[in-house]
Structure 1
Amino acid sequence: MTATESPNPLHADLDLYSSVAMAEALIADQRLAVEAVYAAHAKIAEAVDAALPRMAQGGRLIYVGAGTSGRLGVLDSAELHPTFSWPQERALGILAGGTKAVFDAVEGAEDSHADGIADLERHGVNGHDVVLLITASGGTPYVMGALLAARRAGALTVGFANNPGAALTAGADIGITLDTGAEMISGSTRLKAGTAQKVALNTFSTMMMVSMHKVYGNLMVDVRATNNKLVARTVALTKHATGATDALAASTLQACGHNVKLAIVVIKTGLVASVAAKLLEDKGGSVRAALGETAS
């Protein structure tokens, strides 16, 4: 029996706990998830460094999983476009059982090795892609099938599993073990195993976006202004980065199509938007490079 499936000996009487004691115990157990991800930080950094050249070649981030793990992959992929303007077609969330499985359990979907192969092949996985395979057990047949298809296609494979010595982490190009141990409710990996996966995926994708110049300092300068809240955020970000007034930030953003990066370069350099846009393009989208700034 794997660690994630084993009953937790520390909480054999969970159903007898008071509400306060149960809340304390569940939250304390979740802290172990962050510790498990922290222990794997060097492997996550290795995965980012290996993935970046594929993205420079136009590759995609493809998340694959079943159940909770798959839903977490779908969530991470969906958030990259509004947060960082990452092209939607370059962040795919593939879930055993398809879209229906986001909302309803599709019984048996995770057990099909053949479906994992077929779903990856249907999406035309190739050597420029980075495939993130996520499973608590580390041996889910659907995910292992996807791993096989991804490796055949020459994609970079990164496996996330919560059990040490898992087949997935052994078979992936880079295996990341998030050793969260037994769950408080035996086998319920939506608890700290899922939390660890969420933190690890969030860390990986955020590092990727920062490294691809989607962030200036720690400012979200590639945000998509798709609603009133985000329009206000673009003004605040531009003001913070440049020291401009509300009026100058707003008018410059208007002239720049609410592109925060471009507005920052326009205000800081005094260039017109078209010239500033060409400068940004020549500098690979890096605001720092466009402004001639160097790391301190």
Structure 2
Amino acid sequence: MPEGHTLHRLARLHKRLFGGHPVAVSSPQGRFANGASIVDGRVMKTAEAYGKHLFHVYGPDTVVHVHLGLAGFFAEHELPLEPPVGEVRMRVVGPTQCTDLRAPITCEVLTVDEVKAVKKKLGPDPLRRDADPERAWRRVSRSQRPLAALLMDQGVLAGVGNVYRAELLFRHGIPPATEGRQLDHPQWTDMWTDLVALMRKGVRSGRIDTVAPEYMPRATGRPPRVDRHGGEVYVYRRAGEPCLVCGTTVATTVLDGRNLFWCPTCQAP
């Protein structure tokens, strides 16, 4: 599933391509036909992201809400237009380019109040300037749930996915089973600050890199990581491989239906 940095990159891109312009919106697949007819020909005022949610704002009370889920993605094309390929849920055409949305779990038209209701269910997004880390801390510090579960709970933190979860815990030497209430406030502050920096880096580069320079391939002589998610990471999807720091075999288990990765030595209880 795309993590928060991907949605913020998309919001920036769509704002640049379509913001301030009338756009043609259609649903070649047909499943968003009614919604597309509402915004077709209108000016897209802006695009913004909150966690893993993307909002195309048309105003004064009309917003297209997209959640990509596990398989959804946008593909950009320059004009002139080619016929859509595959199941395109929504096509947005601007002055010079278009974007095709495929396989989202959500693509709907909402009012401003309905958008507020969506955001109200989410925790703070580390990539937003209005994020309040203390709001997440209040949830974390009172919980008996493992930190590894809390970090993936979108009601606690918005935008954090499996990669950032595993890598953040590793970078701070925290066992994944640590209960939220066992964390102290200075630790949380350090984790939040680190998470903000990592995710902002992801927005800039379009990939998740969490490894310090001394453990990068060029410094260690190891081959670069090959993975469709991209980026150099310490433990994510490295089960059975040696930890880059201590050499211990990276472990994995399933928590709340998602694979979890950690180093039993660097993250020892």
After TM superposition, the score normalised by the length of structure 2 is: 0.32
Compare the two structures and name the one with the higher helix fraction.
1
Compare the two structures and name the one with the higher strand fraction.
2
**Per chain length, whose mean CA-contact separation is higher, i.e. which structure has more relative contact order (CA < 8 Å, sep 6+)?**
1
Higher radius of gyration, 1 or 2: 1
After TM superposition, the score normalised by the length of structure 1 is: 0.30
